[in-house]
């Protein structure tokens, strides 16, 4: 299992557009992908799950993946967060 913690840098947090970017990226990989905030753990390939995290600016999210391409999956998702979902 590969795991990384990221901080949300875009001021709007995770709303519909960033959630869609996360899901589209996650679906490119065969690994099981999960996002966790506080004690809530959701499937990284579920747009509704991601939105229900209620992740706002400066929230910390744990990204984990398990499977044949887990390291690549986590790195691709970390890049989305670091690039602020191309918003600001």
Residues linked to residue 65 through DSSP beta bridges, in sequence order? 2, 33
The structure tokens listed for 67 are: 């499977």
Among the residues of the chain, which ranges form H helices?
A: 16-26, 47-52, 70-82
Read off the pLDDT band of 12 (50, 70, 90): very high
The structure tokens listed for 11 are: 């001021």
Instruction: Report the interhelical angle of 16-26 vs 70-82 (nearest 10°).
Output: 160
Read off the pLDDT band of 65 (50, 70, 90): very high
Residues recognised as catalytic: 15
Q: Give residue-wise pLDDT tens across range 14-37.
A: 999 999 999 999 999 999 999 999
Q: Dihedral sign, CA of 12, 52, 20, 43?
A: positive
């Amino acid at each position: 299992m590969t795991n990384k913690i990221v901080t949300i840098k875009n001021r709007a947090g995770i709303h519909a557009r960033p959630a869609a970017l996360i899901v589209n990226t996650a679906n490119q990989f065969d690994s099981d992908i999960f996002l966790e905030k506080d004690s809530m753990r959701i499937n990284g390939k579920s747009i509704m799950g991601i939105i229900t995290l209620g992740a706002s600016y400066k929230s910390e999210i744990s990204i984990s993946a398990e499977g044949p391409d887990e390291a690549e999956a986590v790195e691709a998702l970390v890049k989305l967060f670091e690039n602020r979902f191309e918003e600001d």
